[in-house]
Structure 1
Amino acid sequence: MCPIGIFDSGYGGLTVFRAIAGKLPQYDYLYLGDNARAPYGNRSFETVYEYTLECVHWFFSQGCELVILACNTASAKALRTIQQKDLPALGSQKRVLGVIRPSAEVIGRFTKTRSVGVLGTKGTVSSGSYVTEIRNFYPDIRVYQQACPLWVPFIENGDYRNDGVDYYIQKDLEQLFAQATDIDTVLLACTHYPLLEDRIRKYLPAGVSLIAQGPIVADSLADYLRRHPELAASLSTGGRKTFFTTDSVADFEEHATQFFGEEVKAQHIHLELK
């Protein structure tokens, strides 16, 4: 069996997984949440790289030839090094893809003012990855970033339905739009944030588009597999979805079901936790 591996530091990647499985239901999938070491957002580049690489190695040991880092922090802080340093030694047939490039490739389709806002974790924002990638595709687009450090803890703790989170959403959006009043497109550059989408929309100026990554990444993966038929042919097609966590199975199942939109049953794995 050769499933597609989907990785996140916690639960957020399940919003991307849901979109991918909806777009490409025929494939087998393994999902791993490194919940025991989550969140990654405030950790150093070196630590995020080490943790992500350990999880990528685990996917490869399970027979995955293709791994999606459905985590913006891992994509920002670890993906490039893994692709350039580690994959050549592991075999050219193995692929690791992220969520930043697919989002950057299409953002220009949504904005008319050419002024875009990016909401993300502290780690994603400080990496500057979105600024760099969007500029590569659209040199005329101005990118304004806002770190939202408390959003993920609210979501991970199941408090995102409480009105208390509204204060922080409104405050962070005010700080984003204080940078530029002509922003007409806001990208949710954290896979957790779609769970706050309705609350975020309440505080967006009229006419501003809010973009989630799940459908974008799913479309990008479908296109990637069309362009790499040899890889697509190697993937197993039983439609199976298997979930793993490095922390409590009961906690994972409770939260993951909310993110994924259907009941989730998980298994525990042990990694070398640092």
Structure 2
Amino acid sequence: MNQPIGVFDSGYGGLTVLREIVHKLPQYDYVYLGDNARTPYGTRSFDTVYQYTLECVRHLFDRGCRLVILACNTASAKALRNIQQLDLPTLAPDRRVLGVIRPTTEVIGTYSKTGHVGILATRGTVTSESYLVEIEKFFPDLSVFQEACPMWVPLVENGEYASPGADYFVQQHIDRLLGKSRKIDTLLLACTHYPLLLNKIRQTAPPNVTILSQGGIVADSLVDYLKRHPELETQCSKHGRRLFLTTDSTDDFDRQATIFYGDSVQSVHLAL
């Protein structure tokens, strides 16, 4: 039976996470679902994000996924807790849904020497305060500062991430965040689109500041999770298959996905 690992995102950004997961765990089968027709999630209400995310998770369950990764910070912030606590016990008690916020907050404090870290994210993720809540659990003495960057996702999705036009918006938000505390020595890119702006962020941020992308952290966490849950790991099929689903144009998805995933893909349209 085909029982792939599901990876969900509101659009393309989760492909930067999938890329790192596949690099660490290439033997597994994966189904990636991008809800491109309803993106962006970052500006939508908690209830809307929850309903959209649950709908997509249920579809991945229908495709045999025993484990689904919400490779989307907004979905992880606004929907994951409800899905885990309210839906899974009755909908699919033998299946698991994980997010990208918890793995990141479990380790972020180990990178900072000053105890001051900055979070760069969408407005939805910042408003949810999920990072503040989760970091408090693991590193209660850490000082955390947030900055919403509403222009960064449109820049990336419109192919402007390497253009001179992106410089202004990257500089603006880095300056605002560092202005909240000059002790910040670690920046977390808390949106899966932001790794495409990594070069510009590095050029803008002081050289002593560590910049963290989530893909590698989430991939390492998944490796550990599967080791700790052999009853789930043994159910995941291992044929090295990849299936890409999009709720919008497959041509647009395939063109953009190459940038995020780092390899060419052929997607299948999904009508929800």
1:57, distance to aligned residue in structure 2 (A) = 0.6
Where does residue 176 of structure 1 map in the other structure?
177
Correspondence 1:209-228 to 2 at 5 A: 209-228=210-229
1:47-58 to structure 2, matched below 5 A, reads 47-58=48-59
Partners in 2 of 1:212 and 1:256 — Cα distance?
18
Between 7-16 and 85-94, report the one with greater CA deviation: 85-94
Distance (Å, rounded) in 2 between the aligned partners of 1:156 and 1:268: 19
Q: Residue in 1 aligned with 2:141? A: 140
Deviations 1:147-175 (A, max 9, x none): 00000011111121211011001001111
**AA of the residue aligned to 2:102:** R
Q: Write the mapping of 1:58-207 to structure 2, written as runs, cut at 5 A.
A: 58-207=59-208
RMSD (Å) for aligned C-alpha atoms: 0.5
**Alpha-carbon displacement from aligned partner over 1:30-67 (angstroms, at most 9, x marks no partner):** 00000000010111001000100000010001010100
Write the letter of the residue equivalent to 2:83.
Answer: I
Counterpart of 1:202 in 2: which secondary structure? Answer: helix
User: 2: CA distance between counterparts of 1:172 and 1:134?
Assistant: 22
1:222 partner letter: V
In the alignment, structure 2 segments of 5+ residues that lack a partner are: none
Structure 1 segments of 4 or more deviating over 2 A? none
Residue number in structure 1 paired with 2:254: 253
What one-letter code is carried by the residue in structure 1 that aligns with 2:136?
R
The C-alpha deviation readout for 1:68-97, integer Å capped at 9, x for no partner, is 000000000000000000000113211000
Shift of 1:205: 1.4
Q: Which residue type is aligned with residue 18 of structure 1?
A: R
Q: State the distance in 1 between where 2:207 and 2:267 align.
A: 41
What's 2:30 paired with?
29
Q: Does 1:233 align with 2:234?
A: yes
Q: Residues 236-273 of structure 1, C-alpha deviation per residue, up to 9 Å, x if partnerless?
A: 000111101000000000000110001111000001xx
Q: Which amino acid aligns with 2:156?
A: I
Rounded to whole Å, the distance in 1 between the matches of 2:139 and 2:47 is: 29
Offset of residue 26 of structure 1: 0.5
Provide the rounded CA distance (Å) in 1 between the counterparts of 2:269 and 2:95: 25
- The 1-side partners of 2:67 and 2:124 are apart by 25
Query: In structure 1, how many angstroms separate the alpha carbons of the residues matched to 2:169 and 2:159?
Result: 16
Amino acid across the alignment from 2:57: V
Tell me how many residue pairs correspond in the alignment.
271
Distance in 2 of aligned mates of 1:168 and 1:251: 25
**Alpha-carbon distance in 1 for matches of 2:168, 2:255:** 26
TM-score normalised by structure 2 residue count: 0.99
Structure 1 CA distance for aligned equivalents of residues 109 and 44 of structure 2: 30
- Secondary structure of 1:55's counterpart equals helix
Cα deviation for residue 132 of structure 1 reads 0.6
- SS at structure 2 position matched to 1:234: coil
Partners of 2:207 and 2:85 lie apart in 1 by 42
**Residue 160 of structure 2: SS of its match in structure 1?**
coil
Between the aligned residues of both structures, percent identity stands at: 61
Q: Could you tell me which residue of structure 2 aligns to residue 12 of structure 1?
A: 13
Q: Secondary structure at the match of 2:245?
A: strand
1-side partners of 2:154 and 2:54: how far apart? 24
SS across alignment from 2:252:
helix
